[in-house]
Structure 1
C-alpha cells in the first residue's frame, strides 16, 4: 500500500502541490519542500508548482471579483467575516495589501475577490501578485525543506522510503489542521467584532 502511495506522490505530487496552492496552500507548499528534501521532487519544480499555483489562484479570485461582482458566489464571499476590513485595507494601501494578503490565513480568497472589486488595475495586480507568489512559495517550500532536514537528523538516516512518505503526509495533515483551527478562531473573532 505504501509503495502505491509513494508512486502516486512521485507521479502526481507536483500537480497536488499546484492545486493545493491555488487555494489556501501553505500545507501543500510545505509538503512540496519536504518531498524535495526527500528527493521525491526536484526543489525548483516544487517552488515553481507552488508559485504558479498561488499566482493562478489569486488571479482567478481577482477576475471573479472583477467580472462577476453580482454572482451569488461573490455575494456570499462578500458576507464572510473580514471582507469589509480587507476591502478597506485594499483601498487605503493597495500595494501592501496585495503583497501581504496571502500571509494572512483565511483572507487569501476574500482578498483576491476584494482586489477584483477595488480600483486596482489588472496589470498592477498581476505584477504585485507575481512578486508575492514567488516570495510566498520560496518561504513555505523552504520551510518544508528545512523541516525535512530536521526530521532526518532527529529520526536518522535509517528511515525507509515509505516511512518518510508517511512522515511527510502526517506533517501536511498537521499543518492543515492547525491552519484550519487558526482560521476558525480568527473568523469567530471577526464575527464577534462585526456582530
Structure 2
C-alpha cells in the first residue's frame, strides 16, 4: 500500500501514520486533501504534527538509550553524522529547531541529540515548536499546489489531483536538488582560501 492510498483511505489516521513514517509526502498530501475538503487544514497540520513529534521523540530516545547498539553506532559514525555532530555540539537548541528543515539530516541529528545528553524536556519543547512550524508550512504547500492545480485542471477525481500534486512537488524538489548540487559543485571547485 502506497502512502497516497494510505492517507486517502484512512483519512486523518492515515495522515498520522504517514507523518510518522515519511513526513513530507504524507503532510503534503494532507494539505492537498484539506484543499479538497476531506478534512480541515488545521486538522491536517495538527495530525501531521502529532505523528512527526512521536517519531522524532522515538528516534531521540533510541539515541539516548540505545547509542551502544551496532546499528546506531554505524549511523553515528557515518561521515554525515560527523558534520551534524559539530552543529549539535555548538548549537543544540538551534539544531533541534532546524533539523526538520534540513533534508537528510533529521535521523542522524535526532540520534546525536539523544546521545549528546541534551535535556529531554528542552528537546521535547523545541521539537514541538519546530514540528508545528514545519507541519503548517508543508500542509500549506500541499494546499497551495492543490489549489493551483484545481484552477488549472478544474475538478478532477481526488486520486488524479493527488498524483498531480505529488508530480508538481517532486519536480520542485528536483529543481531545488539540482540547484543545490550545482551550488555545492561550484563551491567545491573554487580555489581554497
Q: How many residue pairs were aligned?
A: 181
In the other structure, the counterpart of 2:91 is 93
In the other structure, the counterpart of 1:110 is 108
Measure the CA separation in 2 of the matches of 1:148 and 1:71: 43
In the other structure, the counterpart of 2:57 is 59
The counterpart of 1:133, out of the listed 120, 131, 134, is 131
Q: Is the 8 A contact 2:45 2:135 kept in 1?
A: yes
Task: Tell me, yes or no, if structure 1 residue 48 matches structure 2 residue 42.
Answer: no
Measure the CA separation in 1 of the matches of 2:87 and 2:159: 46
The counterpart of 1:20, out of the listed 12, 18, 21, is 18
CA deviations 1:8-66 (Å, max 9, x no partner) are: 64441333322332244212111110111011222222111211111111111110000
The counterpart of 1:160, out of the listed 153, 157, 161, is 157
CA deviations 1:140-186 (Å, max 9, x no partner) are: 00100011111111112x323443344345557x379849x78xx7x
Gaps of 5+ in 2: 189-193
Shift of residue 96, structure 1, vs aligned partner: 0.6
Note the aligned Cα RMSD (angstroms). 3.0
Greater RCO (Cα-Cα under 8 Å, separation 6 or more): 1
Measure the CA separation in 1 of the matches of 2:171 and 2:29: 9
Measure the CA separation in 1 of the matches of 2:83 and 2:158: 46
Measure the CA separation in 2 of the matches of 1:149 and 1:80: 41
Describe the shift of the 1:91–1:151 C-alpha distance in structure 2 as closer, same or farther (beyond 3 A): same
Q: Is the 8 A contact 1:51 1:134 kept in 2?
A: yes
**TM-score relative to the length of structure 1:** 0.79
Q: Is the 8 A contact 2:97 2:127 kept in 1?
A: yes
Q: Is the 8 A contact 2:63 2:111 kept in 1?
A: yes
Gaps of 5+ in 1: none
